[in-house]
Structure 1
Amino acid sequence: MPAVRSADPLVLAGAAHLDRPVRWVHTTELADIAPLLRGGDLVLTTGIALPDHDDGLTRFALSLADSGAAGLFVELGRRWSALPASLVGQCEARGLPLVALRREVRFAAVAQAVGERLVDAQLAELRAAEGVHDTFTELSISEAGPAEILAAAQRLSGATVVLETEQHRIVDYLAGPAGQPGTPDGGTFLDDWERRSRNVRTSGRTEWDASNGWLVTRVGRPERGWGRLVIGAPHAPSPGLVAVAERAAAALAMYRLHDRSRDSQVRRVHHELLIGLMSDPANAETHRRAQIAGLPPGRQYVGVALRPQRSAVLDDLVAACLRAAEVARAPTLASVFESEVRALVALPARADAVRAVDRWADEVTARVRAVVAAGSPVDELASVDRTLLEATQVLAVLPPGQDAHGVRRLDDVHLRGLLTLLADDARVSTFADRELARLREEPELRRTLRAVVEHPASKSAAAAALNVSRPVLYDRIARIERLLGLSLDDAEVRTSLHVALLADEVRTTRA
């Protein structure tokens, strides 16, 4: 600092500790000043009243070191032209920075300069804290999602940010800016995440794990812990970074409160309305209640059925549907029905229903991965039972391992869709039983038959699907033909057996 440089300073002891932070400056000539000091105080003196013997100077140096003083500045000329060796030696021994000021200086100017810098730093911290507070308060009020909250945390911290579940699985992350010193990149930062995260056990709300370089804070209360927020921190985090982590975690918890617990009354009303519309779609009172609940009249309506990839997230899927309704501006009723979620989406009368539902579904699956099936749009509430039933039937056709990408409709399910519609028809069941009766006790031959009818033009492909050799496949085909008394070379026979297999599979899935 200019005020110190003008005094021609010379470091005599404690040079290894010059990075010690200074909290304030004390100007004194008292030898027993130590009890009045706080840790981090810098002492300025001319030495006029200091002891004139080595024992007294030793006690003075020890008392300053024990008080946690940041350092000692002594102006030469009034008492000493060179500082006593005993004082220098004791300061060096205790790691207390000792600086000789070889020119006269106004201590008031030094104290003022240091004070101004400290106050400026504190104001900067306050402004930064205010910025962090304002940023996350605004995000909470606007019910921002995890992506927006993580983006704000990454921007304010300048580091990689990761959101994980209670099971230590990554939900989302944003890598820190490339090329910044000390900022881990997303690739190496995420390596072997689950194992490393399980080894980081926290007892408080926010803790720094030096081995990984992680600042870890809990999202939500411990008894309702949903997960943790991790920010890259290769060095001990500043109070500002801790504030960013904790405010971001609070915003994430608030989002879950908004998005997941939107009032049990709303959830109950949605469930009752959907049941009413499916069982008695022409009921005028149900229509009135639906309008009060936010489903406007004079729209086109599309039934949607959704199956999450994990059954434990059905409530999350309903919350995602309600959030998508706000983002896509498509009023929606949504509720859980056994292992799936059913929703009724209201769209503008002249909107492209396919594109609008696709956008709505994209918003949902961006939050919770799910298989989505949609019915055909209808123009009045009195007909919504048809579109809801169609959506559930299409979803029932889709196998559990179905890819979660895109919306499936009746046009996409072909023969399997027709068989699903006819699954309760006794004639279809009788047909399937009759065709497959002699293979009921032969699961290996049933699998072989399935491979053959699915690859009618290539025995090699059928053998590969079963992971057997072609001679083995030919032997099994011969056994099937003997049991059935039919030739699998006959196209009509293959078609008949294929339909029977699909009908049996649909029936088993529904059961």
Structure 2
Amino acid sequence: MPAVRSADPEVLAGADLLDQPVRWVHTTELADIGPLLRGGDLVLTTGIALPDHTEGLARFASSLAESGAAGLLVELGRRWSALPQELVAHCEERGLPLVALRREVRFAAVAQAVGERLIADQLAELRAAERVHDTFTELSIGEAGPAEILAAAQRLSGSAVVLEDEQHRIVDYLVGPADDGFVEDWERRSRTVRTTGRTGWDPSTGWLVTRVGRPERGWGRLVIAAPAGASAGLTAVAERAAAALAMHRLHDRTRDGQTRRVHHELLAALLADPTDEETRRRVEIAGLPAGRQLVGVALRPPRPAQLDDLVAACLRAAEVTHAPLLASVFESEVRGLVALPPRADAVRFVDRWAREVAGRVPAVVAAGTPATGLASADRTLQEASQVLAALPALPTADAVGGVRRLEDVHVRGLLTLLADDPRVAAFVDRELSALRAEPELFRTLRALVEHPGSKAAAAAALHVSRPVLYDRIAKIERLLSVSLDDAEVRTSLHVALLAEEV
């Protein structure tokens, strides 16, 4: 500071302690000022009233050190032209910074300059605290989501911010100016960090950690990168952000809504481009480790209102079977990606998982062919969805808990894969167009292909007599100009009807 530099200062003791914070400045000539000081006070003196013997100087230096004084500045000229070596030695021994001011200086100017700096710093802290308070108050009132709250915490802290659940899995994160692998191997590292109280700083990792919610209802933790330590301002950011996240959970009807949002984003990204490196990284962070078998699953509940319950059942089944899972709602179905151990029997494992799901919400379940890496995740996800589309809309008793795969849907599965092909549409129209104006004959044809070899069963399904059925068969043959006794004709019509359904 200019006021100090003008006094030509020379550090004589405690040179390694000059970074101690100064709380205030005291100008005094009293030798017994020590008990009146507070920790962090800086003492200015000319030394006129200080003792002239070694014991007195030792007591003076000791009293200042014991009071926690930030340092001692002595102006030369009035008492000493050079400070006594005894005083220098005692200050060095007690860890008290000692500075000789070799030119005359107005102590009032020094005290004023320091005071103005301290007040300016305190005012800046108050303004920063007010900004933190206003920011998170607005977010809470506006029922902002976790993404907005984390963005605010990152902006105010200028550091990486991570939200993790109670199993130390990352729910979401935002990197700071320099990521430097902050989230790598997160789960293992996070388990080693233990703090006392609601908020604490861990020096081994440089993490400022605060709990989200009350201990008995703790949902997880908020972590902010703080390699240089946690200031009061940074602690306030962490605690206000955690409080805003807890408030959001009170407003959020779905307890795991944040997890579901991330799962939906990741599944959509895998379907769009499973080779994207950032998507791969975020999938691993979300809990699907590399080197696992990946099986796409698709599920449909009896009613659309049960979709959210079905997602919850999928996540719970994943915990029970110890199979990490991404799951989310896509239109009228739930899609998921299950990660299995590399050598596990994929069929048996997924069947067991499906039974756990069905124990909570009955559903039609379909699975794709296992993929050996994320690069093929889109294939197994699409297969599962295509198989589901080929299955009956509502879960039957034998379907609940059972998993259907491509080999289970036969020609219906093939037609599902080809549903958007215009050539299939042309084939269906060519085979069935003559019957579209005759609903009664259309139903009769369906009953005939669904009961092959038994006209009695077909008549019973239609609730008509056999003579009536024979009459309708004759009309169908005339309209289509075919014989229904021809096996290839019956097959062709059956495929057309299946394609029409799909």
The interval holding the TM-score normalised by the smaller chain is 0.5 to 0.7
Residue in structure 1 matched with residue 77 of structure 2 by the alignment: 77
Give the 3-state SS of the residue equivalent to 1:136 in structure 2: helix
- Distance change (3 Å), C-alpha of 1:32 and 1:422: closer
1:76–1:101 contact (8 Å) kept in structure 2: yes
Return the offset for 1:261.
Answer: 8.2
2:406–2:413 contact (8 Å) kept in structure 1: no
Partner Cα separation in structure 2 for residue 157 and residue 164 of structure 1: 18
1:281-292 counterparts in 2 under 5 A?
A: none
Partner Cα separation in structure 2 for residue 18 and residue 404 of structure 1: 61
Partner Cα separation in structure 2 for residue 368 and residue 105 of structure 1: 72
2:365–2:388 contact (8 Å) kept in structure 1: no
Q: 1:399 aligns with which of 334, 346, 366?
A: 366
Residues 204-234 of structure 1: CA deviation (Å, up to 9, x unaligned):
1001111111100000000110110000111
Partner Cα separation in structure 2 for residue 108 and residue 447 of structure 1: 87
The alignment status of 1:250 with 2:248, answered yes or no, reads no
> What is the aligned-residue RMSD (CA, Å)?
4.0
Residue in structure 2 matched with residue 373 of structure 1 by the alignment: 332
Unaligned residue ranges in structure 1 (runs of 5+): 179-183, 263-301, 315-366, 375-394, 433-442, 457-489, 501-511
The alignment status of 1:16 with 2:16, answered yes or no, reads yes
Residue in structure 1 matched with residue 59 of structure 2 by the alignment: 59
Partner Cα separation in structure 2 for residue 422 and residue 97 of structure 1: 80
1:137-176 counterparts in 2 under 5 A?
A: 137-176=137-176
Return the offset for 1:147.
Answer: 0.2
Opposite residue 186 of structure 2, the aligned amino acid is W
Residue in structure 2 matched with residue 214 of structure 1 by the alignment: 207
- Distance change (3 Å), C-alpha of 1:491 and 1:25: farther
Partner Cα separation in structure 1 for residue 48 and residue 78 of structure 2: 7
Partner Cα separation in structure 1 for residue 250 and residue 378 of structure 2: 26
Give the 3-state SS of the residue equivalent to 2:44 in structure 1: strand
Identity %: 69
Residue in structure 1 matched with residue 101 of structure 2 by the alignment: 101
Give the 3-state SS of the residue equivalent to 2:307 in structure 1: strand
1:163–1:171 contact (8 Å) kept in structure 2: yes
Residues 33-83 of structure 1: CA deviation (Å, up to 9, x unaligned):
100011111000000000011111111111111111100000111100111
- Distance change (3 Å), C-alpha of 1:399 and 1:105: same
Residues 294-323 of structure 1: CA deviation (Å, up to 9, x unaligned):
xxxxxxxx9665255442879xxxxxxxxx
Residue in structure 2 matched with residue 199 of structure 1 by the alignment: 192
Opposite residue 416 of structure 1, the aligned amino acid is A
Residues 337-392 of structure 1: CA deviation (Å, up to 9, x unaligned):
xxxxxxxxxxxxxxxxxxxxxxxxxxxxxx98335408xxxxxxxxxxxxxxxxxx
1:250-329 counterparts in 2 under 5 A?
A: 250-260=243-253, 305-307=306-308, 308-311=310-313
The alignment status of 1:48 with 2:48, answered yes or no, reads yes
1:304–1:372 contact (8 Å) kept in structure 2: no
Return the offset for 1:12.
Answer: 0.9
Partner Cα separation in structure 1 for residue 212 and residue 492 of structure 2: 57
Partner Cα separation in structure 2 for residue 415 and residue 78 of structure 1: 97
Return the offset for 1:159.
Answer: 0.5
2:390–2:412 contact (8 Å) kept in structure 1: no
Question: How many residue pairs align between the two structures?
Answer: 325
1:48–1:79 contact (8 Å) kept in structure 2: yes
Partner Cα separation in structure 2 for residue 121 and residue 59 of structure 1: 34
Partner Cα separation in structure 1 for residue 493 and residue 396 of structure 2: 18
Residues 404-460 of structure 1: CA deviation (Å, up to 9, x unaligned):
99xx9xx9778734x345958xxxx9xx9xxxxxxxxxx9xx99975987999xxxx
The alignment status of 1:240 with 2:233, answered yes or no, reads yes
Opposite residue 36 of structure 1, the aligned amino acid is L
- Distance change (3 Å), C-alpha of 1:452 and 1:200: same
Residue in structure 2 matched with residue 231 of structure 1 by the alignment: 224
Partner Cα separation in structure 2 for residue 415 and residue 91 of structure 1: 84
2:132–2:240 contact (8 Å) kept in structure 1: yes
2:314–2:327 contact (8 Å) kept in structure 1: no
1:12–1:99 contact (8 Å) kept in structure 2: yes
Opposite residue 373 of structure 1, the aligned amino acid is S
Partner Cα separation in structure 1 for residue 33 and residue 234 of structure 2: 36
Partner Cα separation in structure 2 for residue 176 and residue 52 of structure 1: 57
Opposite residue 52 of structure 1, the aligned amino acid is D
- Distance change (3 Å), C-alpha of 1:163 and 1:50: same
